[in-house]
Amino acid sequence: MGSNYEGLLGYFFFLAGLAVGGLTIVALAMENFPYFITGAIIAVVCLAAGMVLWLNVSHREHHDPLEPGMTRAGIRRYEMRRKTGTCM
């Protein structure tokens, strides 16, 4: 099947959002408010971007964003797209 970079990129953004969210909590505990606000914004943007990418893959491809399934319907869709040259 085709590459799954979009799902992996969404996973990276989701993990980055969780990591920055943890650092944001530390900045809040240290009462460093500029870092807290900046970190909170970055964390929310990363989490939202990750979820948007995952939902895009799952709705468009009809499979799990991280582990694409090799079902008969998925193989037929992939072969049809290769023949027509769309979405690749």
Is the pLDDT assigned to residue 88 strictly greater than 70? no
> So what's the pLDDT on residue 1?
44
- What's this model's pTM, rounded to 2 decimal places? 0.69
> So what's the pLDDT on residue 73?
75
> Percent of the chain, pLDDT > 70?
82
Q: How many helices (H) and strands (E) does the chain have?
A: 3, 0
In sequence order, which residues have a C-beta less than 8 Å from that of residue 65 and are 6 or more positions away?
A: 4, 6, 7, 10, 11, 53, 54, 57, 58
Q: How many Å is the Cα radius of gyration of the chain?
A: 18
